[in-house]
Amino acid sequence: MPADRRGDRRLTSCALREARVSEADTLTELVKRSKAYWGYSPEFMKACAGELEVTSCYLEANPAFVAEREGVGVGFCALERVSDDVVELGFLFVDPGYIGQGIGAKLLSRALSAARGLSYRSLIIQGDPHAEGFYRAVGARRAGTRESESLPGRHLPLFEISL
């Protein structure tokens, strides 16, 4: 990632709260901005549009959290049940202006706390290749790869955190 695109590395104070069903469209736009930050082409972004959409039904069905600063959502994460013991990090995105300021780590910590509170034993994460360093830094171990749902032949890193 180009150094000039990175946040200033200061920790940004923010509040964490549960996501609201009514903000599905706003969260979708945040997710798309965050994904595009990594320099993906318009064609790539179009191919991934379905994966990047946050719907009201999704928010009703899954624990989801928003990082908020001065009343504005600057990050978002969600959990998806896989089995009685396993939960997957369905989303973890930070608005580009706040990347590198500790918000992703705060969101992941909240997701881990929620997963433990729901008695899951393991969190799996299908990460973007650009996020591998982040996930390793927060204690995730590489657990293989998974083929992209949007782009056949593209394999994404898979991580796991024991709870």
Closest Cα to residue 121, out of 146, 159, 84, 77?
84
Percent helix, strand, coil in the chain, to 5, is 40, 30, 30
Q: pLDDT averaged over the chain? A: 92
- Going 153 to 154 to 157 to 163, the CA torsion angle's sign is negative
Mean pLDDT of the region 105-124:
97
Q: Residue 73's pLDDT is what?
A: 96
Mean pLDDT of the region 124-138:
94
Q: Is 158 helix (H, G, I), strand (E, B) or coil?
A: strand
Overall pTM > 0.75:
yes
Domain 15-162 has CATH 3.40.50.11540: no
Q: Is 36 helix (H, G, I), strand (E, B) or coil?
A: helix
